Amino acid sequence: MEHKDGFKRFDMAKKPVRCRWFLKPIAWAISFPGLWKHKTKITRIGMKGVKAPYLLLGNHNAFFDMNVSSAATFPKIGNYVVAIDGYIGREWLLRNIGCICKRKFTDDVTMVKHLKYVVKKGGIPAIYPEARYSLCGTTAPLPESLGKLIKYLDVPVVTIICHGNHINHPFWNTRHERGVKNNEATMKLLFTKEDVERLSKDEINERLVEEFQYDDFKWQFEKGVRVTCKDRAVGLEKILYQCCECGTEYHMKSRGTEIYCEKCGKTWEMTELGRLKALEGETRFVHIPDWYEWERENVRAEVKAGTYSTGELPVKVESLPNARGYIKLGSGTMVHDMNGFKVHIKDLLGHEYSMEKSVASMYSCHIEYEYLFKHGDCVDLNTLEDTWYTYPYDKPFSVTKMAIATEELYYDYREKIGKPCKPGLA
């Protein structure tokens, strides 16, 4: 399908296939050595006698999660839902492994049909329902529609929750792994087919939220897992963008094992056990996710006061209409405020493009840090036909704050219309 801008769109309607027999050894060759390297232990609960078709749901801390899931379902290989940027330069491979393409945080009826098709063919549709890597190794909101989807698929539900993958390869610095060993994963039959038929979608969602509670930094400390990497704090300012000492935003920096505020000079060491320790004075937040949640509380206060806004940010935008690669679409401005996202750009030929995403249309958003190690931090905004990678520059900003604000704006919107989100759902 060709769009009015002349770019051919990715064919989302093409039905998924079972992994081709000749690609299975390649998938296993990628998955198992990683497990052996990290000495990952997979614990199975209630899985005796469980056979496909079933729905596989996993938490998402790093790319390595997929290696663990592939090994856990051996000798079967699931049909994984994968974001469109994963297909760049390897569409044939991913389609023939059985992957299902998705543009993030869009209501995609076609994808749901593909999942049902996989079930009917006796396969294992595999989803990471948080729809993004965890920013700080803790649970992201699950979509409220998940319970409805499970009722529709009408098959058993298996969860696989990993611990340690964020510590080994945190999203805020993916340049290298930390060499973490003894990672853990629990594969569990959460719902039988009879459970799915008997329980309401709300009851299913409640159980899912309970099952998806995890905290990799807590796991690290309790297990005594030491990270001796000399640059273990580098990039931590991506998620801890606001100084908890002086309250200043966008002036946090990192070096080696330390994170510090340029404004007030306060400095913290990130210990080998993933804890924070102030070099001078009081340590307000020892646990990294506690600092992150404090930032969320501050964003929530701005939303409640009706004052949240990034202001007008200059941006460069790249488009991803298909799997052939990114297209430099143009430059312009972006605003994220109480009304949602508004992006307006112009290309070198003077053609103008706009994208608006209302608060009601997005319960969360996907962000990237130092995307592709050269472009910088970005927010990717999606329609069913295109993805815009939007890179702010020249003004202070934090894509982490935008991601938090997207969630808080949605929660606030739901409260205002009298349909508040239930804990852990969006």
Are 240 and 252 within 8 A, CB to CB? yes
239 DSSP 8-state letter = T
- pLDDT at position 1 is 37
Domain boundaries, the chain: 24-221, 236-305, 313-416
- pLDDT at position 170 is 94
- pLDDT at position 323 is 87
Per-residue pLDDT tens digits for 123-174: 999 999 998 889 999 999 999 999 999 999 999 999 999 999 999 999 999 8
Average pLDDT over every residue of 262-270: 97
Are 178 and 229 within 8 A, CB to CB? yes
Checking if the pLDDT of 349 tops 90, the result is no
Per-residue pLDDT tens digits for 212-259: 999 999 999 999 999 999 999 999 999 999 999 999 999 999 999 999
Are 104 and 361 within 8 A, CB to CB? no
Dist. CA 345–CA 381, nearest whole Å: 14
The amino acid sitting at 188 is K
Dist. CA 164–CA 31, nearest whole Å: 16
The amino acid sitting at 135 is L
Average pLDDT over every residue of 109-131: 94
Checking if the pLDDT of 55 tops 70, the result is yes
Of 24-38, 151-165, 317-331, highest mean pLDDT:
151-165
Per-residue pLDDT tens digits for 377-395: 999 999 988 999 999 999 9
**Percent of the chain surpassing pLDDT 70:** 98
Checking if the pLDDT of 6 tops 70, the result is no
> What confidence tier does 5 reach under pLDDT thresholds 50, 70, 90?
low
Q: What is the dihedral of CA 84, 87, 88, 91, to 10 degrees?
A: -130
In this prediction the pTM is: 0.94
Query: What separation, in Å, do the N-terminal and C-terminal C-alpha atoms of the chain show?
Result: 32
Domain 313-416 sits in CATH at: 2.30.29
Give the SS3 label for residue 256. Answer: coil
Average pLDDT over every residue of 78-87: 91
Residues contacting residue 237 through CB under 8 Å, at least 6 positions apart: 252, 253, 254, 259
Dist. CA 315–CA 344, nearest whole Å: 9
Average pLDDT over every residue of 174-182: 88
